[in-house]
Chains A and B, each alone.
Chain A
């Protein structure tokens, strides 16, 4: 029986998690905190508390609502979400410090769940193919969000030392994608022609939005302290993802130049910063064995499933759409007189 506070409830995943938890029999009460109320008014049985986590207002909110579990979902991946790099850093770093200070004060909080990101590992040519959870410290070249996420985790580690009685779970998610969520990556893949870095084909993993919520819920409801990478099975490379979405790649020497960034901004895609362009140059892989063995979480969707679910909902009808390719293939087969053969082979097998 517990009272759960979800910090960052105005955003898509925060609002969905709060709803999901409010429907769980193990949770008595869900308190949602954010600077604005969630856009869709149907909060169900959630108590909304308006508080800015970059101020001591969060301390009052925690003192008043006396939660047992605090879920920190207020770490923003893009500066566009916050309205610039300065407020982004303010919300991520100062917000976390204020929240942790309040949790440290509280005599009710016994569990803290932090939604972090695999961005803490950075993306570089000298990165190992798969990052395990204990390899974040020696990761390279951090700036922007990568640096924020690492600093946030450093403060959380400090908190763990000062309050050893509180269970702390840090979930490092790979990019979240699915039919509904809007992220820099989702907006990138709906461009009709997608700028890519020439001569690079980054590998990446995805986690489906439903799996992301399930993992957060599991960490909130059960006791699974520790740091865990969370990703769906398998990998995609960028060219393969674009092919699956029927998108044409436009190779450019770099995505980091002001011209390219300006063009992408004008094309309506969220502002990319160096963290995203580095990710789209070098890619990243994380090891998920700890997720299976210790968090005991099994994602329902693989990386490819998550991407296909996104394509089905948002990116059909591209120039190289699957159906068009299949139609051309069919035409070529009948021109060559191959159309009967495929069926014949199948029968033999």
Chain B
């Protein structure tokens, strides 16, 4: 008897096999999540593949300096934040996973708002994100994880298009203190391209306050084109990972010394700002 498999060939058989196994593990709950809610199997098989077309074909992300991301052990990737909708953190996650030889998972830190929203909060935890608070960062770093932080927060994502590629304040330097405490290196990361995906020309401030959101963007396409306005513009992206900044040699108590924390914060910020200027110039036209 010829079965379906003989007609489809070995590659399809393997695929069917993997799919059935995956489906059965999902339906019987036979998988594990870590203490932050990270579901590695779901992330690798569903969440990252869903983002890949956007990464490869739409934004045509070019990654530089991936060797600066350590192959194992804890490290803190610090990046600029932009684009109205925080797509840049998703693309960085994908860049680290797909381009790094060790296929590491980047554990992104999110604002409280992320964990307040239904669906978003669920997907964030499943894909390895957690709340940006000291306890969680230090736990992740102590566990040897690769942690990603976007210290500008909403000030960065929600800034008008006219201020593109100008870094906002880097929070209160909490990320630097966390890195100092755990001795993890800081990898500055500069992302070019996210600024153009939803160019924010105005903010529906009144409505935002009514809905208790940090901002409601008005872009050339949103809300004018309705749901079509939600499609990001196809800008060309470059993500560059800079040289790691070691934090091991600062000694005990450095994390509680505001001067050390401020200096280090400024150093990281300046590195990213300068790289951004260079990259923007190199890229030329944002959409080609």
Interface hub of A127, A234, A338 (most chain B Cβ within 10 A): A338
Contact B37 A237 (CB under 8 A): yes
Question: Which residues of B are found within 8 Å of A236, using beta-carbon distances?
Answer: 29, 33
Residue of B nearest to A288 (CB): B35
When C-beta atoms are compared, the residue in chain B nearest to A242 turns out to be B29
Q: Across the A-B interface, how many residue pairs have beta carbons closer than 8 Å?
A: 109
Using a CB-CB cutoff of 8 Å, which residues 10-59 of chain B contact chain A?
13, 16-17, 20, 23-24, 26-37, 39
* B139 proximal to A (CB < 8 A): yes
Interface membership of A325, Cβ < 8 A: yes
A241 B29 Cβ-Cβ under 8 A? yes
Check B3–A126 contact: CB distance below 8 A.
no
Interface-located stretch among A72-80, A85-93, A213-221, A328-336 = A328-336
Q: How many interface residues does chain A have, given as a range?
A: 35 or more
Contact with B along A112-130 (1 / 0, CB 8 A): 0000000000000111111
Q: Could you tell me which residues of chain A, from 287 to 335, have a CB within 8 Å of some CB in chain B? A: 320, 322, 325-326, 329, 332-333, 335
Q: Are A129 and B26 in contact (CB under 8 A)?
A: no
Q: A237: which B residues are within 8 A, CB to CB?
A: 33, 37, 39
Q: With an 8 A cutoff between CB atoms, is B126 at the interface?
A: yes
B133 and A198: CB pair below 8 A? no
- Contact A333 B20, CB 8 Å, known A125-B121, A243-B29: yes
Contact B33 A203 (CB under 8 A): yes
List B105-121 residues whose CB lies under 8 Å from chain A.
112, 115-121
Number of B residues with CB within 8 Å of any CB on chain A: 40
Which among A128, A129, A132 has the highest number of chain B CB atoms within 10 Å? A129
> Does B136 count as interface, using CB distance less than 8 angstroms?
yes
Cα separation A125 to B27 with both chains bound (whole Å): 27
Query: Does B4 lie at the interface of the complex (its beta carbon under 8 Å from any beta carbon of A)?
Result: yes
Does A135 sit at the interface, judged by CB under 8 A?
yes
- Contact status B122-A201, CB under 8 Å: yes
The complex places the Cα of A130 from the Cα of B142 at a distance, in Å, of 13
Contact with A along B124-142 (1 / 0, CB 8 A): 0110001101011001000
Q: Does B282 contact A (CB under 8 A)?
A: no
Most buried by A among B24, B34, B35, B135: B35
Residues in A with CB closer than 8 Å to B207 are none
Tell me if B5 is interfacial: C-beta within 8 Å of chain A.
yes
Across the interface, do B131 and A126 meet the contact criterion of CB distance under 8 Å?
Answer: yes
* A240→B31 contact, CB < 8 A: yes
Q: Check A338 against B20 for contact (C-beta < 8 Å).
A: yes
Task: Using CB atoms, name the residue of chain B closest to A243.
Answer: B29
Find A129's partner among B17, B117, B121, B130 (CB 8 Å cutoff). Answer: B130
**Chain A positions near chain B (C-beta within 8 angstroms):** 125-130, 132, 135, 197-201, 203, 234-237, 239-244, 282-283, 285, 320, 322, 325-326, 329, 332-333, 335-338, 341-342
